Amino acid sequence: MKYVSAFDLKRNYESMKDEIKEALDRVLESQRFILGEEVEKFEKEVSSYLEVAHAVGCGSGTDALFLSLMSLDIKEGDEVITTPYTFFATASSIAKLGAKPVFVDIDPLTYNIDTDKVVEYITPRTKAVIVVHLFGLMTPVEKLEPLLKDKGIHLIEDCAQSFGAWRKIDGKIRRCGTIGTFGCFSFYPTKNLGGYGDGGLVTTNLSSLAERIKRLRAHGCSGEYIHEELGMNSRLDAIQAAVLRCRLRHVDDWNRKRRIIAERYRLLFNVYKISEFVKAPSEDEGSYHVYHQYVVRCERRDDLSKYLDENGIGTRVYYPLPLHLQPVFKYLDYRRGDFPEAEKLSQDSLALPMYPELTPDEQEYVVKTIAKFYR
């Protein structure tokens, strides 16, 4: 029996071991471990890659969201619209500031927030909308951005799973994290651009907000031991920045390989005649999906996942319980049935193995095993 893991970091490390060690040695020789030159260089390099004016490193993707909301003075009584089908941090960052997360159902094809429904949930208390570019596919933010701008509502892009993704807007390629007031990135090790620990990034085209994020990430400090406001301790480590500088040079190639793997899955689903049981993820026109996860919709999800595990194939369920049904958000008074598309997806979605080093033979074994299950 073969073994195919859901994700394999070791193969990636083997491919660039010497490059990483050289970067780590550079930091160790400098003995500068918090912020400093490595972080500054990474911020410049990543802002150039994304084509955004400012990039500010921080401690995690969760902190990136929290810092963004803090800098907009989101507070108790405010409302922030977002999706119920995403990682917990998107909504918890809102709630931790005392604001109210307001959920909007998803598009069943893209899994992202249904942009056509957002306007129905806007109230005088709405201060921001957080869209999540889930699993590597950008939300069509061009539908939302002009509307929100007219209403004085901030657009925040949660880009934790979508580094390198883009959409063609008005004939131009626009990368995720460059359209809204803020883009929020995670560099958790399994991400398309992942570090070797926690790390995050906030992007913006507004200089005043970039400066405020820099203050807030360091206890609201504007000078040595001078604190203008209450901030937090969320500084990017130099070691993580050095690793990310190395990995940034390869991320486009890795994303290209992810797209090849995604297309191979689609072809294999047809070859093994399982398309009626397993639905491949969608990629809407004008989008460049980077497949952080390869999430299918399938019949008898839990039974299939168990069968694949018994045959040495790792899978994951993202996410088994939508945010509006989480116990911690009971006070929001949402009920089962409020967001039917998100609830359906939580019951039939399954992430198959996906990483740049996944081989064609391993992919065929995965699909062949799925076919055996349904036969």
CB 57 within 8 A of CB 199: yes
- Tell me phi and psi for residue 184, to 5 degrees: -120, 120
Active site residue: 21, 75, 191, 372, which one? 191
Assess whether 191 carries a catalytic annotation.
yes
Give dist(CA 65, CA 177) in Å, integer: 12
- Nearest C-alpha neighbor of 185 from the set 356, 35, 59: 59
- The DSSP call for residue 353 is P
Q: How far apart are CA 371 and CA 166, in angstroms?
A: 33
Q: Which strands sit side by side in the sheet containing 278-279, from one edge to the other?
A: 278-279, 294-298, 349-352
Residue with tokens 């190395």: 246
Helices (H), 231-273: 238-248, 251-271
- Integer Cα distance of 285 and 235 in angstroms: 38
Return the structure tokens found at 12. 């990636």
Answer for the pair 366, 315: CB distance below 8 angstroms, yes or no. no
C-alpha span between 155 and 152 (Å, rounded): 10
Within the chain, residue ranges assigned H as helices are 9-15, 17-30, 36-50, 61-71, 89-96, 115-118, 145-151, 207-216, 238-248, 251-271, 301-310, 340-348, 360-374
Residue showing tokens 């918090």:
34
**3-state secondary structure at position 115:** helix
* Cα dist from 87 to 9, 49, 72, 324, whole Å: 21, 26, 22, 12
Which residues is 128 bridged to in the sheet? Answer: 80, 154
| Active-site residue set | 191
